[in-house]
Structure 1
Amino acid sequence: MSSPNIAKEMHVGHLRSTIIGESISRLLSFLGHKVLKLNHLGDWGTQFGMLIAHLKEIYPDHKTAPPISDLQAFYKTSKTRYDEEKDFNQRAHMAVVKLQQNDPEYVHAWKQICDISRKEFDDVYHRLGIENLIERGESFYQSRMEEFVNDLKSQNVLQEDEGRLILWPPKCEVPLTVVKSDGGFTYDTSDLTALLQRLHEEKADWVLYVVDMGQSVHLNTVFAGAEMLGYYNPNVHKVQHIGFGVVLGEDKKKFKTRSGDTVRLVDLLDEGLERAKNRLLEKERNKELTEAEFERAQKAVAYGCIKYADLSHSRTIDYVFSFDRMLDDKGNTAVYLLYAYTRIRSIIRNAGYSEKTINEISKTVPLIFEHPMELTLAKALCRLPDILLKIQNDFLLHSLCDYLYDLSCDFTNFYDACYCIERNQETGDVQINKERIVLCEATARVMKCGFDILGIETVEKM
């Protein structure tokens, strides 16, 4: 999942893999699976030659971390020099060779570049609430690739084709290039090696690739190649491609900035924060919330609306990114659901019941639902396990979003028809319907469970 490239900033193209992958991980963990979240970083390759060569020239004394504030600009400059300066191009090629030979000086420079990128990635992951993401970049598989290729050569399973060595799995439209004509390895080589490592070193019984639909032919060919080589048996292991569509702008084309550049993920999150703040100020929430409560609500709305807009669409289709739609407090949006959740929490607070008290009531007081809306809500709450088990089979997370929206609508109908707290206008006495408060608490807990799986933070007040 996620899988950004070192020395390049995360952009909107990484959004769906990151959000969908995180939600699937949370779902499977909730259902009792032991989950290993892998971030397959692009941290190796010929591009590091030009980056290291440029680094050594600009910061010759790079024993300490170089003061590179804009790694994207650093990359563009080194790429321009690589394309236009013959001497620099040669130094870049030499740097690649030195790196592949594990020269300490060049490995140190490579690590510094990776560390700068990693800090930027970690900031995005922290803002999105993503933890325990294990980094396994291309570099991790380098030595394993050499062993893997030597093993294939000894088995005589590779075919020679115009100087390259290929593996052509049965029923596949294209072959896998295992060794290029210059002796180098390819993405095919690393993906075959990575799958071998995951199945036989990690001992995984289920491997999920959360990668866009455009990679389906490549991944299916890799899976077929692994099966052909005998280290992947579909009767023993499950290996799946969880594909997804692209993010579109409101013009129905690939989401870009006005200048035509790729949208940086950090800019998207910043804009979300600003728009969420303005929406909350429009509703004068700053007059009702403390500064800390307002900030928590702002982040919950900003990041929650971005995640929910993605997850509430079928992952198999493209979807249009629109902040105006995301921040609408009507309809199937994160804002509507978060407001519904805080409303339920407010009802429970007004009843004056602690969580402990509600737990005791639910164990001792018979829950008898006489009103049709009570029964409808109770039945809706019971649907959650079936929804989660369905998603475990198809990984269509919009089913959970639809369920949460329907549940919040059922709660609204219930609350409009059934008084939970009644105040006598003449005496001022307050009567609390314990069974209905328990139903409110159950609804809040089910919604919280759904939000947690979707990776959306909840707040008590908004």
Structure 2
Amino acid sequence: MEKQLLFKNMAKAEADVKELYDRYETMKRLASQDDIKLENIPDDVDCPELRALVTKHNKLSYRLGILKRAIDEENSKPKMAKTSFDPESFTSIQTALTQVCTIALREAYPDISVEQTVQPSGKPEYGDYQFNAAMQVAKELKNRGINTNPAEVAKAIVRKLKATRIIEKVATVGGFINIWLAQPFCQNLVMEIVTEGVKPPKLLKRQRVLVDFSSPNVAKQMHVGHLRSTIIGDSIARLFEFLGHEVLRINHVGDWGTQFGMLIAHLQDKFPNYVNELPPIEDLQMFYKESKTRFDSDEEFKKRAYDCVVRLQGHEKDYIKGWQLICDVSRKEFQKIYDQLGISLVERGESFYQSRMESVVKFLRENEHLEMDDGRLIMFGLEKGQIPFTIVKSDGGFTYDTSDMAALRQRIEEEKCDRIIYVVDNGQSGHFRVLFSCAEKCNILDPSKVRTDFVGFGVVLGEDKKKFKTRSGDTVKLQDLLDEGLKRAENTLNSKGRDEVLTPEEFEKAKKAVAFGCIKYADLCNNRMNDYVFSFDKMLDDKGNTAVYMLYMMTRIKSIAANSNVTPAQLAEAAKTEKIPVKHPKEWKLVKTLLRFNDELSKIVDDLCLHHLCEYLYDIATAFSEFYNACYCIERDAKDGQIVKVNMDRLLLCEATARVMEKCFWIIGLTPVSKM
């Protein structure tokens, strides 16, 4: 009976609309306004009756849409059941609340398409979270001729909200929907952190993710320009590994090209017996400079260098041997830096793609994607006005464009990657935009199946706000920077008397944690798109959003249980009966902050900006500090300082805080220390 009534009402609405439309056409002719559209009457049209008809038409159209949607829902109830909130599939507070509110929004206004995410509230008196879609909905309704206001819309949405264990209460203030979380639900979530550890959100699909980062050139020392790619890329790889994806960490090394011809020619002259006896070329940077000087000044040497390139690319045994020697020396130098920073990578040089470059050129030729231009073979992407890729040079050689196209093809077709992330400085954005455009044009890349991300970043500046260089104007070597960091960290720890209270082993661990942690954190806590000023003084500050402060806060938290003489076993036993405390406002604030963890990760997965995680870490540290100052974990006698009472529930909250911070540390590559 209900369905028949719906069909009857819909038929009447359709008849009304047809009648109105016929009258509208008549009125439009009378008004002699050929450009009048049903949904957009110009302000200069003076025809009140026409406007009234159009408004009535829009209202009926809206009603008609509601009726059609109601019938669709009636015919597909099993499908609708899947959209309801399921506590068993809970991944995060923000996601769950957004899901609940979106369902209510669609039920209240089924013909309105508005997407809005629930956001944390700025003030406790306005709840813990807010849903602000009412403004957009009211605006959309007004455009359709439906007179309402955000406050009425908000109340209509709230009336459709389903009861759920995650929400304690809801209230509206104007167009804002304020949401208070259910404390028992949150207590259980935080207790799971204590008993089961920090777990990632549940994956909808496990992906194969390739992160291309660091990318130094063989025969050249890594410099400060490689710092950001290495640090950012490692953290992105760690994030996806924690989330459960299969991650390929690729170091796309420049190990092929003209420079190797000149290096091999110089090797032949300086160490003619290099094939049988390992040459002492530890200082590869000096060796490179010597060969480059000869290449630029000696025409005969230059000819020999080009000949060496041809022989190398022809895979002649002695030339391959010389090339391998040079690569091995570079590889050892790179690895020293990666070991210090705790970076793991799989090297895949440009040489790996040599045969694949030949294959991709053949593919592009056969599919007529290449054009001849002054002896070169070039390719244009999908976007007009883009600079084309040079696929084959006039001398028949390949370019970076060729190797990057071959690499992308290999990663999609051979590696079967679902997502490919390039961590490269902002100056390369144009190159990668053309790469993705060309790859899509020739059907190597299908964006609907494979996501590609260009993760650009700004340059490192000195304290004079100019590009970071040595006093002599040279680029700062990365190893020199790390050595300076160790020296500064040691001085800082000594100035605070840590050398007197820490054992030599503890001091060495603290020094490395501070030195490398401050370099990483100073990079990651800035929005990667911006340039940032490199300053050891700011990095080593123990106040504010710095690595030193974070390391200190972690050490402080971990020491609380030790100072109370509570063992890990006793803490685990207490977790069986105690509840996470939420009565004090500072306890509740810390609990809510900890439960933002998965939401912060979801944000980074989308925009690949690690500064969100650093800001979140600082929020945790601030919330914990407020909690610790207001809520006693250990109560002592005022006279003799003896422990009177240990609040096990608050110790459990300390443990949960430490675990979340430790996981954040791991993702951004910080190493916590037991003493500092």
Common fold by TM > 0.5: yes
For residue 375 of structure 1, report the CA deviation from its aligned partner.
1.1
Q: What one-letter code is carried by the residue in structure 1 that aligns with 2:287?
A: F
In 1: Cα distance, 2:631 partner to 2:216 partner: 51
Partner of 2:541: 328
Decide which of 376, 379, 382 is 1:170's aligned counterpart: 382
Decide which of 505, 513, 519 is 1:300's aligned counterpart: 513
For residue 369 of structure 1, report the CA deviation from its aligned partner.
2.3
Partner of 1:57: 269
In 2: Cα distance, 1:148 partner to 1:114 partner: 26
Q: What one-letter code is carried by the residue in structure 1 that aligns with 2:225?
A: G
Q: 1:247-304 CA deviation, whole Å, 9 max, x = no partner? A: 1111111100010000000000000000000000000001111000000000000000
Q: 1:246-285 alignment to 2 at 5 Å? A: 246-285=459-498
Q: 1:344-359 alignment to 2 at 5 Å? A: 344-359=557-572
Q: How many residues align?
A: 461
Q: What one-letter code is carried by the residue in structure 1 that aligns with 2:238?
A: R
In 2: Cα distance, 1:176 partner to 1:429 partner: 72
For residue 426 of structure 1, report the CA deviation from its aligned partner.
5.5
Q: 1:11-90 alignment to 2 at 5 Å? A: 11-62=223-274, 63-90=276-303
For residue 346 of structure 1, report the CA deviation from its aligned partner.
1.1
In 2: Cα distance, 1:305 partner to 1:181 partner: 48
Superposition RMSD in Å: 1.1
Q: What one-letter code is carried by the residue in structure 1 that aligns with 2:299?
A: K
SS state at 2:635 partner = strand
Q: What one-letter code is carried by the residue in structure 1 that aligns with 2:263?
A: L
In 2: Cα distance, 1:356 partner to 1:17 partner: 42
Decide which of 522, 547, 562 is 1:309's aligned counterpart: 522
**Greater CA drift, 238-247 or 143-152:** 143-152
Partner of 2:656: 442
Partner of 1:456: 670
Q: 1:143-189 CA deviation, whole Å, 9 max, x = no partner? A: 11111112222222210000000111121411011000000001110
Q: What one-letter code is carried by the residue in structure 2 that aligns with 1:167?
A: M
Consecutive unaligned residues in structure 1, runs of 5 or more: none
For residue 32 of structure 1, report the CA deviation from its aligned partner.
1.2
Decide which of 408, 423, 441 is 1:228's aligned counterpart: 441
For residue 352 of structure 1, report the CA deviation from its aligned partner.
2.4
Q: 1:408-442 CA deviation, whole Å, 9 max, x = no partner? A: 11111111111111122457353111011111111
For residue 349 of structure 1, report the CA deviation from its aligned partner.
1.2
**Greater CA drift, 422-431 or 406-415:** 422-431
Partner of 1:134: 346
1:360 matches 2:573: yes
SS state at 1:35 partner = strand
Partner of 1:430: 644
In 1: Cα distance, 2:647 partner to 2:268 partner: 73
SS state at 1:380 partner = helix
1:4 matches 2:222: no
Consecutive unaligned residues in structure 2, runs of 5 or more: 1-212
> TM-score, normalized by length of structure 1?
0.98
Task: Work out which of the two has the higher radius of gyration on C-alpha atoms and give 1 or 2.
Answer: 2
Q: What one-letter code is carried by the residue in structure 2 that aligns with 1:405?
A: Y
> TM-score, normalized by length of structure 2?
0.67
Partner of 2:627: 414
Decide which of 436, 440, 456 is 1:243's aligned counterpart: 456
SS state at 1:364 partner = coil
Partner of 2:365: 153
In 2: Cα distance, 1:226 partner to 1:307 partner: 34
Decide whether the 8 Å contact of 2:389 with 2:434 is kept in 1: yes
Q: What one-letter code is carried by the residue in structure 1 that aligns with 2:351?
A: S
In 2: Cα distance, 1:384 partner to 1:177 partner: 45
In 2: Cα distance, 1:455 partner to 1:429 partner: 37
Q: 1:209-264 CA deviation, whole Å, 9 max, x = no partner? A: 01111111110101011101112111111011011111111111110001000000
SS state at 1:36 partner = strand
**Greater CA drift, 122-131 or 145-154:** 145-154
Decide which of 198, 203, 206 is 2:411's aligned counterpart: 198
SS state at 1:37 partner = strand
In 2: Cα distance, 1:164 partner to 1:445 partner: 57
SS state at 2:481 partner = helix
Decide whether the 8 Å contact of 2:455 with 2:608 is kept in 1: yes
Q: What one-letter code is carried by the residue in structure 1 that aligns with 2:253?
A: L
CA shift in 2, pair 1:157/1:369, >3 Å: closer
In 2: Cα distance, 1:429 partner to 1:233 partner: 65
Determine which structure has greater relative contact order: mean sequence separation of CA pairs < 8 Å that are 6+ residues apart, divided by chain length: 1
Decide whether the 8 Å contact of 2:581 with 2:653 is kept in 1: no
CA shift in 2, pair 1:368/1:251, >3 Å: closer
Decide whether the 8 Å contact of 2:581 with 2:587 is kept in 1: no
